[in-house]
Each structure stands twice: as structure tokens, then as C-alpha cells.
Amino acid sequence: MDLYEHQGKELFRRYGIPVSDGRVATTPAEARQAAEELGGQVVVKAQVLTGGRGKAGGIKLAATPDEAERHAGAILGMDIGGHVVGRLWIEQASDIEREYYLSLTFDRGVKRPLFMFTTEGGIDIEEVAATQPERLVRLHVDPVEGFQPWHARRLLFGAGVEDPEEQKQVAAIAQKLYECFVACDAMLCEINPLIVKPDGAVHALDSKFTVDDNALYRHPDIAEMRDLDAYPPEERAARAKDVTYVKLDGEVGILGNGAGLVMSTLDVVGLAGGRAANFCDLGGGGDAQGVVDALEVITADPQVRAILFNVFGGITRCDEVARGILQALSQMTIELPIVVRLDGTNAEEGRRLLAEAAPENVHVEPTMLDAARRAVELAA
């Protein structure tokens, strides 16, 4: 789950990482009031779950509450990389002497958190990595050992930070960032830019924060930060029905049981020359209500031209899934072709039930590849 800048900063603040004081606003009037309360110069910042807001015009300095209100009016409703701005973060403006970059990500390849640090901050880190790789310090932390002072020294000397006061502050921020990352079950904590002010104070000016979805049950306060409005309507509907749903770009709607099977179904559809429009994971179940919910979500997508139902009966029995499909189709009308591949426990019984009772637009195929080919053909 990705957090908005202001939410990430709230978590930073809890762990003692210095951030600016600010307020959330969703209207120009609220932005004006926030600027009045904060006093002095403020920054009006679009809150969207994507980067590059500065370049897109989503970040503006305002000297007066009047100006903050005007900028807010211009930024609200703006489209930044497909995300429409619906909320703003108004914070006290900072004077910037230098812009650094500090991040922690989870490096799955080596199963360790990875620090990245460079004094070339403020710009895209990919650009630094591509053009000046020697300026980007990369350092893994052994999770058993945890963060140690030498990690900070390695980052600082590697990047060439020489001022002792600055070293002390960056070292403390790196340590707190590690604590925050671990305690929040984060996958990414990025500060770009980490600024040095003219008076020497080091400060997080931006936040990019991703929390592991699978750990959200341990963090009800973070789970609550999810902004349902930021999701497309069909994903919101899926979430409300507790259906795992991912929107893609092709024409075959995919329904499977189990993430692994669904992922391989995507591949097989690709192999058959088609593309998935979306996919739903039924998880372990295959009961009628689960099938109805998933079919409703899948068919709400106008790009879907055919539906591929791929079920492997392990604990779930295929005859039960077949009954679920039949019951679902008796409750709702679907005109799109539906291709069903059932295999595993009681597969024959399941296929027989479908062959006997299913409507004409349901096609039963014996293998995954046959089913994918048929679905791609029918979607063409």
C-alpha cells in the first residue's frame, strides 16, 4: 500500500525524523486557512500516489494565504500521471541549501533492506544511478544485526559528506529511517530530497512510503490511511466485495483460484496470442456467491470480450465449483462467452455438470492451454 506524502511524513515524525509542520486541505478555502495558521511562506503540494509532482506543476510556493488559495485552486483537479489531485498538503516552506537523497527499500534478491544515499538529490534517482553510479552509495543491512553506527559512517563517507554537524544529523536520520522501516513493515521509505537548510539543519522535504499489504493487519492505524477514492471504481467495488482484482489492458477477463494459478493463466493467455483484461482470484473458495461477486467485478470492465475461468480443484472440489458457476449464471445474465477449464479433485463430475446444465455461452475445455486458446479466439 502506497501512502501519500503527508501520511509518510506523519510516520517519519513519529520516529523522530525532522519534517515541516503542515496541514491537509481539500478546498482552496482550507488551503488559505492552513496557510494562515502556519504563517509565513508555505508550499502547496498535490497529494497523489505518483512521483514527479514538482515537474508537473503540482508543487507551488506561496508567500501569502491569498496566494496559497489561488495555487490550491489551480492544483486541485489537476491530472498528474493519470492521478487526479483531490487533496493538498500545505506546509511551512523551507530554505534549501543542498538536496540529498536517502532511501531504504526491501531488496528481495538478497533478502535484506537496502540503503541508498547520494548528495545528488532532488532529481530522479534513476538518472543518478545511470549517469553517476559512483555517487550513489548502496548498502545492505543484515536484519539480524540491525542498524549499526558503521552503516551510517559507510553511507556518509561513501557519498562524501564532510561537515561533522551534517554527518551527525544524517546518521541519526538514517538510523530512525531504519527503525521506521522495520517497525512499519515498509517495503520502501524514500526521502527525496533530504535537504540541508542554510542554517545547517537536515530535514525530510518529501516522503515516498510503501507498506507491505500482508502486514497491514499489524498496523490498523496505517491500514486506515488507505484512500479509497484513489482507486478506480471497479477496484473499489472489488475491494468492497473482498474480491482480489487487478485491472489490465487486454480483452480476456480471467478468474482463477489461487494467485499462482492466476499468474500462470495470464502467461498461457499470452502464449495463445491474447491479453488479459483483468484478473480475479477466487482464493480457496468457489461457492456461488464468490463466483457471482467475481463475475460481477470482471464483467463491469467494458474491455472484457471473453471470460476464462481456470480452476484447479485441490481442497475445493470441481463439482462444487461447477455448481457455483451454474448457480451464479442462474442469478445473473452474462452474454459474453465463458470458457471453463476444470481440473483436479472431481474434475470429471464438474465437467459433466457443466456440459449438462450450462447455458450455450459456456464452453468447457480439458486443459489450460486449450481453454486459453478458445478464450482468445472467442475474444477476437
Task: Mark the segment that binds Mn ion (CB under 5 A) among 96-104, 156-164, 189-197, 239-247.
Answer: 189-197
Looking at the Cβ atoms of 123 and 334, the one nearer to Mn ion is: 123
The answer to whether 362 and 329 are in contact (CB under 8 A) is yes
Q: Which residues of 299-311 are buried (b: 16+ CB within 10 A; e: fewer)?
A: bebebbbbbbbbb
Report the residue closest to Mn ion, judged by CB: 206
The answer to whether 244 and 213 are in contact (CB under 8 A) is no
Place of cell 507498506: 211
Distance, in Å, from the CA atom of 242 to the CA atom of 52, rounded to the nearest integer, reads 32
- 210 makes contact, choosing from ligand GDP, Mn ion, none, with CB < 5 to 8 Å by partner type, with none
Let me know if 101 is a catalytic residue.
yes
Looking at the Cβ atoms of 206 and 296, the one nearer to Mn ion is: 206
Task: Mark the segment that binds Mn ion (CB under 5 A) among 37-45, 149-157, 190-198, 276-284.
Answer: 190-198
Q: Which grid cell sits at 53?
A: 509532482
Q: Which grid cell sits at 371?
A: 481453454
CB atoms within 10 A of CB 275: 16
Residue 51 lies near ligand GDP (rule: CB under 6 A): yes
Q: Which residues, listed in sequence order, are joined to residue 245 by a DSSP beta bridge? A: 280
Residue 203 lies near ligand GDP (rule: CB under 6 A): no
The answer to whether 235 and 228 are in contact (CB under 8 A) is no
Looking at the Cβ atoms of 61 and 355, the one nearer to ligand GDP is: 61
- Give the one residue of 54, 73, 258, 283 binding ligand GDP; rule: CB under 6 A: 54
Q: Which grid cell sits at 175?
A: 538510523
Distance, in Å, from the CA atom of 118 to the CA atom of 131, rounded to the nearest integer, reads 13
Task: Mark the segment that binds ligand GDP (CB under 6 A) among 50-58, 104-112, 163-171, 259-267.
Answer: 50-58
Looking at the Cβ atoms of 166 and 206, the one nearer to ligand GDP is: 206
Distance, in Å, from the CA atom of 368 to the CA atom of 380, rounded to the nearest integer, reads 18
Binders in 201-220 for Mn ion, by CB under 5 A: 206
Looking at the Cβ atoms of 192 and 278, the one nearer to Mn ion is: 192
Let me know if 231 is a catalytic residue.
no
Pair type for strands 88-92 and 98-107: unpaired
Residue 193 lies near ligand GDP (rule: CB under 6 A): yes
- 342 makes contact, choosing from ligand GDP, Mn ion, none, with CB < 5 to 8 Å by partner type, with none
The minimum distance between CB 78 and ligand GDP, in angstroms, equals: 13
The minimum distance between CB 53 and ligand GDP, in angstroms, equals: 3
Looking at the Cβ atoms of 52 and 143, the one nearer to ligand GDP is: 52
Angle in degrees, CA 96, 102, 106, rounded to 5? 155
Q: Which residues, listed in sequence order, are joined to residue 342 by a DSSP beta bridge? A: 311
Say whether 363 sits in a helix, a strand or coil. Answer: strand
Task: Mark the segment that binds ligand GDP (CB under 6 A) among 93-101, 109-117, 277-285, 311-319.
Answer: 93-101
Q: Which residues of 175-213 are buried (b: 16+ CB within 10 A; e: fewer)?
A: bbbbebbbebbbbbbbbbbbbbeeeeebbbbbbbbbbee
Question: Which listed residue (5, 190, 296, 320) is catalytic?
Answer: 190
The amino acid that residue 87 corresponds to is R
Question: Which listed residue (4, 67, 100, 101) is catalytic?
Answer: 101
Residue 192 lies near Mn ion (rule: CB under 5 A): yes
The catalytic residues are: 101, 190
For ligand GDP, the binding residues (CB under 6 A) are 43, 51-54, 59, 93-94, 96, 99, 122, 192-193, 205-206
Q: Which residues bind Mn ion (CB under 5 A)?
A: 192, 206
